Structure 1
Amino acid sequence: MTTPKRFIAGAICPRCASMDKIRTWEQNGIRYRDCVACDFFEQLPIEQPTTADELETRVNRTREEQKKSDVQTVRILDPKG
């Protein structure tokens, strides 16, 4: 199966340094990139998702975890000693 060729916005060609000339597509489990301004061509195997745990961020934490981390103990110091 082949995906349509699409330009990558803001991408700079590693060979000719032209901006917005790189396009990408996938075919038979391989990702391809090429430049329409020069003869740059690259193929990369499509990486399979790993089973590694997702990095914890404030977005993917549960509400209870956020509440626990947001609670801070306040200790009042006596100015006299």
Structure 2
Amino acid sequence: MGAPAQVTWAKAAKDGSEIVAIGGVRKWFLGKSQWQLTTSEAVALMELDEWRFFVEIDDEKAWIDVCEDADGAKTISPDGPVRYLL
């Protein structure tokens, strides 16, 4: 199971149709570290089960999933938990 990482910000494309980058804080036993990734990097880490990303909404973790568009490209949906950060 991948290491959890909280997403605290997201950047959308100019037309708002897709997420192009995410970033946040990863807490671990040595403290916290800030990070930022492109959507393709984040998708690759989720598919390799290295990291799991979440958005905290009302003190609850909402996990981010990989979705596939009509063309077969994998991405993070702007309609998922990330929408609370846009």
In our comparison, the structure showing a higher alpha carbon Rg is 1
- Which of structures 1 and 2 has the larger relative contact order (alpha carbons within 8 angstroms, sep 6+)? 2
- TM-score (structure 2 length as normaliser): 0.24
Please state which structure has a larger fraction of its residues in strand: 2
TM-score, with length taken from structure 1:
0.25
